[in-house]
Structure 1
């Protein structure tokens, strides 16, 4: 049984470890294996995102956080900053439950869209989001905010040809 609830300040310390565990999935992709040792969002940043009210935790049967989704309101969109599930709990519906909760929250808030940046071909990235109706934005569809995020990712070592911005229209 998966329980999705709003993240609480006391969850912030556990979230970087979940992100680290989730990152180990990249070890299966040689050219992206370096991401398994990448920088994680700090507990302090998580506390800031949690306080803003658009972060959720998926807890396992014992009530322990197994995954999280951190987002923020950016103009008329809910922007997903991070969605991670502990490596040992991947493929069990935690990510799906978190994404469904975030989309429902964005609808409740009357937002126009949910956005994110991710890898085009990594199975648990763009192909996962496409199952929920997200589409990859191309060319002029990529607004200034998303273009800036993609540029920042490239500056931090992400391969530009493998990254994309995605959007789920809610209106």
Structure 2
């Protein structure tokens, strides 16, 4: 398997991955999340055109996981990372997060951020193992407050959520060579 940029022809596949990744929420009493429709093709295309959508491609170069992100207040905000359950627990989500971190670092961004469910084992506790820490409400930037407000308006606030941040180390710049 390998990480690569998402192709515009794969957007329905991303939606299918997200639908399948939502099903485990049903077993923990979060059927509303399992039933929630993924972002539309137009929204996903925006990430692809911005160069901020990556897939983990498996057999036949078909996507089995994906990550989309947006720049927010000097960081790269992970809007969604989903792994098809048939490929779960193989480090694919972590590989996509590391790819996003390298992308962000290469552009001089200070951190990765995301919002997630606080009490779902494969959400906040997982992201903590990936180097993220919960941000207190008072530490949210204007852009992150807007993300939280948008998600709350969409109904995600029915379950405890947190905003998380992972600082990134800047890429050392090599000194200019002498003439």
The answer to whether the aligner puts 1:100 opposite 2:103 as a matched pair is no
Matches within 5 A, 1:151-162: 151-159=149-157, 162=160
Residue of structure 2 aligned with 1:149, choices 139, 147, 150: 147
Query: C-alpha separation between the residues in 1 aligned to 2:168 and 2:100?
Result: 12
Query: C-alpha separation between the residues in 2 aligned to 1:88 and 1:135?
Result: 28
| Pairwise CA distance, 1:138 | 0.5
| Pairwise CA distance, 1:7 | 1.1
1:30-85 deviation per Cα after TM superposition (whole angstroms, max 9, x unaligned): 1x122111021111111111000111000113321000000112231111110001
Compared CA separation, residues 160 and 170, structure 1 to 2 (3 A): farther
Q: Structure 1: where are the runs of 5+ without partners?
A: none
- What's 2:46 paired with? 48
Matched pairs, number: 169
| Pairwise CA distance, 1:87 | 1.7
Say what the alpha-carbon RMSD is for the aligned residues.
1.4
Matches within 5 A, 1:38-117: 38-117=36-115
Query: C-alpha separation between the residues in 2 aligned to 1:110 and 1:151?
Result: 27
Query: C-alpha separation between the residues in 2 aligned to 1:11 and 1:75?
Result: 29
1:102-121 deviation per Cα after TM superposition (whole angstroms, max 9, x unaligned): 11111111101111111112
Q: Structure 2: where are the runs of 5+ without partners?
A: 170-179
Structure number, greater radius of gyration: 2
Q: TM-score, normalised by structure 2?
A: 0.89
SS state of the match for residue 12, structure 1?
Answer: helix
SS state of the match for residue 168, structure 1?
Answer: strand
